[in-house]
Amino acid sequence: MQCQFCKAQVPNGCTKCPQCGTAFSGSPQLPAGDFGASFSNVTNIWKNNLGDLVVLTLVFCLVAWIPIANVGFITGYTRSLLKVFRGQGKASVGDLFNAWDCFGNLLAYLLLYIVVLIVLSFVPFLGALASLVLHFFVAPGMFAVIDKNMGAIDAYKWSLTTLQKDAVNWILAILVGSIVGSLGMIALGIGIIITLPWGQLLLISQYEARKFD
φ and ψ at residue 121, rounded to 5 degrees: -65, -20
Rounded mean pLDDT, 182-205 = 85
* In the predicted structure, residue 24 carries a pLDDT above the cut 80: no
Rounded mean pLDDT, 136-153 = 95
Res 36: pLDDT: 83
Of 14 and 123, the structure prediction assigns the larger pLDDT to 123
The pLDDT-based confidence of 20 (bands split at 50, 70, 90) is low
* In the predicted structure, residue 14 carries a pLDDT above the cut 70: no
Res 21: pLDDT: 57
φ and ψ at residue 185, rounded to 5 degrees: -65, -20
Q: Does pTM surpass 0.85?
A: no
* In the predicted structure, residue 73 carries a pLDDT above the cut 60: yes
**Of the candidates 51, 104, 103, the residue with the CA atom closest to the CA atom of residue 78:** 103
* In the predicted structure, residue 157 carries a pLDDT above the cut 60: yes
Parse the chain into domains and list their residue ranges: 35-210
Res 125: pLDDT: 87
Res 188: pLDDT: 56
- Contact present, 84 and 90 (Cβ < 8 Å): yes
Contacts of 103 (CB under 8 A, 6+ apart): 71, 72, 75
Name all contacts of 96-102 with Cβ < 8 Å and 24+ positions apart.
96/56, 96/59, 96/60, 96/63, 97/72, 97/73, 99/72, 99/75, 99/146, 100/72, 100/75, 101/149, 102/75, 102/145, 102/146, 102/149
Res 187: pLDDT: 60
Lowest mean pLDDT, pick from 46-50, 153-157, 209-213: 209-213
Of the chain, the percentage scoring pLDDT greater than 70 comes to 82
Average of per-residue pLDDT values in the chain = 86
The pLDDT-based confidence of 10 (bands split at 50, 70, 90) is low
Q: What does the alpha-carbon distance between residue 37 and residue 169 come to, in Å, rounded to a whole number?
A: 12
Res 30: pLDDT: 47
Give the chain's end-to-end CA distance (angstroms, integer): 12
Rounded mean pLDDT, 170-199 = 86
